[in-house]
């Protein structure tokens, strides 16, 4: 199961240095489940070999509008209609300019013009070119047309030696953006509050109590909600993850107290809380201002610990709780279903997603996950082992009808 399972993608490569990343991008799109047809411009072939693209895509690579071996098939009118999405990576200043002005002098631009298939544009170019008012105006104009979605270029060291915006985003970001364009937009208007990652409870300036959560599942859920149009506020504990595509706002916190404060702040303007953070249950009673030194005379160290707030429990007891749907998580090592059902009731949740973390390779970290969703009405849905991004997509797809119905009910009661 991948983010782009069963999707047909036409990858168009413009003539920028980032075209050399094309074969890797094709491979990653295919790993995500997509069938990839590549079209290159003549300029792109200076940076990447069509043969390499042909081998990794498993399809002939098209370039020439006038190619003789296409037989009676009218390639430029067929190609775009046969796919679900056109991805332009790299989208050069020239390519963007031609599309904006309705010019079509090669196979890629005629293909785009001859169909209505959505286009994900990934501009990648030198910073000065990107900032050029003519290029910026072309991008701004295309942004106003619903057919074109832009993925912001990254900031980094560019081939020309300067550091600035213009870098082609890495394949995972392009794949996320592609999945978002293809996802149904049924969560527009839903305001989702998602917590993710661990909390760290400091002992002194260099040490903390924490847990092994990487935040991957919470970030994947935030991405999957945003992909379907939800307005997502992501409250993240200390993690090393990049903000997923489409997130409206991200608030970084460290401790359970900070996470509670951030969630309380956003709670009244949310319709859904996804509490996937692994909150530390205890914190050191005191935080030392200077590093705790070991003493030669003492072989043991005892640390008095205090309970941190149970964030989900305290939010579920707020008077405005009924406005929101609450999804909790339970990572258990034994009697998974029993503890999950108990937490569902105790914390007054609409759903709880429970997973068994007794097997080392599932649950924590960036790998796969699997689990069961227990609902307030007693129903149980099993989610088989999958990459966390794909599992999050499946979980959000399962919840989407209830979320949009909830939003509609709120709108009807407070128009």
> Is residue 344 part of the contact set for ligand CTP (CB under 6 A)?
no
Distance between start and end Cα atoms, the chain: 39
Choice between 67 and 212, CB closer to ligand CTP: 212
DSSP string, 336-365: HHHHHHHHHHHTT-SEEEEEE--STTSSSS
Cis ω before 158 (30° cut-off from 0): no
Q: Could you say which of 51, 157, 160, 405 is catalytic? A: 160
Number of neighbouring beta carbons within 10 Å of residue 240: 7
> Is residue 186 part of the contact set for ligand CTP (CB under 6 A)?
no
Stretch that binds ligand CTP, among 91-99, 220-228, 310-318, 396-404 (CB under 6 A): 310-318
Shortest Å distance, C-beta 320 to ligand CTP: 17
Helix (H) or strand (E) holding 30: helix 22-31
Report DSSP state, residue 307.
E
Shortest Å distance, C-beta 275 to ligand CTP: 4
Binding flags for ligand CTP, 256-295, as an x/- string (CB under 6 A): x------------------x-x-x-x--------------
Number of residues that bind ligand CTP (CB under 6 A): 14
Report DSSP state, residue 397.
H
Residue 379 neighbours by CB under 8 Å, 6+ apart:
none
Shortest Å distance, C-beta 343 to ligand CTP: 5
DSSP string, 159-179: TTS-EEEEEPPPHHHHHHHHH
Helix then strand then coil, in percent of the chain rounded to 5, is 35, 25, 40
160 labelled catalytic: yes
> Is residue 310 part of the contact set for ligand CTP (CB under 6 A)?
yes
269 within 8 A of 189, measured Cβ to Cβ: no
Shortest Å distance, C-beta 228 to ligand CTP: 22
Binding flags for ligand CTP, 313-332, as an x/- string (CB under 6 A): ---------------xxxx-
Shortest Å distance, C-beta 198 to ligand CTP: 10
Binding flags for ligand CTP, 219-258, as an x/- string (CB under 6 A): -------------------------------------x--
- Structure-token pair, residue 254: 């460290």
Binding site residues, ligand CTP, CB under 6 A? 256, 275, 277, 279, 281, 308, 310-312, 328-331, 343
**Active-site annotation, residues:** 160
């Amino acid at each position: 199961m991948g983010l782009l399972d069963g999707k047909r993608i036409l990858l168009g490569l413009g003539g920028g240095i980032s075209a050399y990343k094309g074969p890797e991008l094709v491979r990653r799109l295919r790993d995500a489940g997509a069938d990839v047809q590549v079209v290159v411009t003549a300029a792109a072939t200076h940076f990447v070999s069509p043969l390499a693209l042909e081998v990794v895509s498993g399809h002939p690579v098209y370039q020439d509008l006038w190619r003789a071996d296409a037989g009676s098939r009218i390639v430029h009118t067929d190609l775009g209609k046969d796919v679900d999405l056109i991805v332009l990576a790299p989208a050069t200043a020239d390519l963007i300019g031609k599309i904006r002005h309705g010019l079509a002098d090669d196979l890629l631009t005629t293909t785009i013009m001859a169909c209505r298939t959505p286009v994900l544009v990934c501009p990648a170019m030198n910073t000065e070119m990107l900032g050029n008012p003519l290029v910026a105006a072309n991008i701004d104009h295309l942004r106003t047309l619903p057919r074109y979605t832009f993925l912001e270029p990254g900031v980094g060291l560019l081939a020309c030696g300067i550091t600035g915006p213009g870098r082609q985003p890495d394949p995972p970001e392009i794949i996320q953006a592609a999945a978002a364009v293809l996802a149904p937009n049924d969560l527009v208007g839903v305001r989702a509050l998602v917590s993710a990652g661990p909390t760290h409870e400091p002992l002194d300036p260099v040490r903390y109590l924490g847990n092994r959560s990487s935040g991957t599942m919470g970030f994947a859920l935030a991405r999957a909600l945003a992909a379907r149009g939800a307005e997502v506020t992501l409250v993240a504990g200390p993690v090393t993850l990049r903000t997923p595509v489409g997130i409206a706002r991200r608030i970084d916190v460290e401790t359970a107290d900070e996470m509670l404060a951030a969630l309380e702040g956003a709670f009244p303007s949310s319709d859904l809380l996804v509490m996937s953070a692994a909150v530390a249950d205890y914190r050191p009673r005191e935080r030392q201002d200077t590093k705790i030194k070991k003493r030669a005379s003492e072989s043991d160290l005892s640390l008095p610990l205090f309970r941190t707030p149970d964030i989900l429990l305290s939010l579920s007891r707020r008077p405005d709780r009924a406005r929101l749907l609450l999804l909790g998580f339970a990572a258990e090592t034994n009697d998974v279903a029993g503890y999950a059902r108990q937490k569902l009731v105790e914390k007054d949740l609409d759903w709880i997603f429970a997973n068994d973390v007794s097997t080392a390779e599932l649950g924590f970290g960036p790998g796969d996950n699997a689990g069961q969703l227990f609902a307030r009405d007693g129903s149980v849905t099993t989610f088989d082992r999958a990459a966390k991004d794909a599992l999050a997509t499946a979980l959000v797809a399962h919840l989407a009808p209830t979320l949009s119905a909830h939003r509609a009910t709120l709108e009807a009661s407070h128009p």
